[in-house]
Amino acid sequence: MLRIHHHFMIGGSLLLLLILPLMIIALKRHERSATPRLAIIQDMDKMPYLKPQRKSDLFADGRGMRPHIPGTLAREDFIYINQAETRLHPNNWAATHVVLNSKVKYEKVLYGQVLRNGQGDWVKSIPIHVTPEFVNRGELKFDVYCGPCHGDNGKGNGLVNQYVTHLRAQGSPDAGTWVQPTDLTGPAVKYMPDGQIYGVVTNGIAAMAAYKDQIPVVDRWAIVAYVRALELASAPVPAGKLPVQDRPASPPGKAASAAHPGMQVAAASAARQTQ
């Protein structure tokens, strides 16, 4: 009897030792932990990698970061959807897609430049077909991302600037070293090529942050178109100077005094693209 009891105790202890690791594993899988979990199968979790700008002996030039292969395009960068035009073509969105079907088109749309001998020249006009709908799309995005600092009229006196000005008038240290945003209707921006304005929106400048992660490529160009519309709105162009098809409709017996800024930008952009 004692022998049977002894074997039973040994068997129970062995069974407990076998089950205990499984219980610990199950418990750990459901516990929150600030330390990385132990991965039995590493897969690609801890594979070697290179940090930016580090050298590598794998390539003949010793660079770990690989340059773009001349004459090639990234597979994901061939087509961009023009959201401003999709409502006009609900059953055929492809009619308004921005298709990057050449190296030059790729550089103009994505970089706002044409690369020659390793140097970039800013494009002078928007490389996407500009319509009043496209300008309206730019207005929507401008109001979200640019208006708080630059103001709805682009004069550089948005709500953020007004607030900081108020703090500075009170002598508050919270005003910091704030610099008033640029007047987008002034000469500093007016004489910039369209590609350079796109570059500023994409990569930022001085204290202005980059917006390439927040604003899609086509919408950045739409903002450029709206900035041009703000410039024209500050000095309206007589409708009579626009092509007949771009002039706004006039009430019977009255002549249109000035064109809508969106129409002005569309007409001006089309004229530059045909030059």
Residues of the chain predicted below pLDDT 70: 1-8, 37-39, 42, 71-77, 84-96, 236-275
Residue ending a domain, choose from 62, 89, 122: 122
Does 54 map to a domain?
no
Q: Range of 180's domain?
A: 132-273
Both 165 and 214 in one domain: the answer is yes
Both 87 and 193 in one domain: the answer is no
Q: What is the pLDDT of residues 34-66, one digit of tens each?
A: 777 666 776 777 777 888 888 888 888 888 888
Residue ending a domain, choose from 92, 122, 152: 122
pLDDT at 146: 92
Does 1 map to a domain?
no
pLDDT at 95: 61
CATH number of the domain that residue 184 is part of: 1.10.760.10
Residue ending a domain, choose from 94, 122, 150: 122
Rg of the Cα atoms in the chain: 30
112, 141 contact by CB (below 8 A):
no
Does 31 map to a domain?
no
Instruction: List beta partners, residue 98.
Output: 80
Q: What is the pLDDT of residues 21-41, one digit of tens each?
A: 888 877 777 777 777 766 677
Both 229 and 248 in one domain: the answer is yes
Both 145 and 84 in one domain: the answer is no
Both 93 and 196 in one domain: the answer is no
Count of structural domains within the chain? 2
Does 57 map to a domain?
no
pLDDT at 254: 38
Q: Are strands 98-99 and 113-116 parallel, antiparallel or unpaired?
A: unpaired
**Is 127 buried (19+), middle (13-18) or exposed (0-12) by CB count in 10 A?**
buried
Both 96 and 217 in one domain: the answer is no
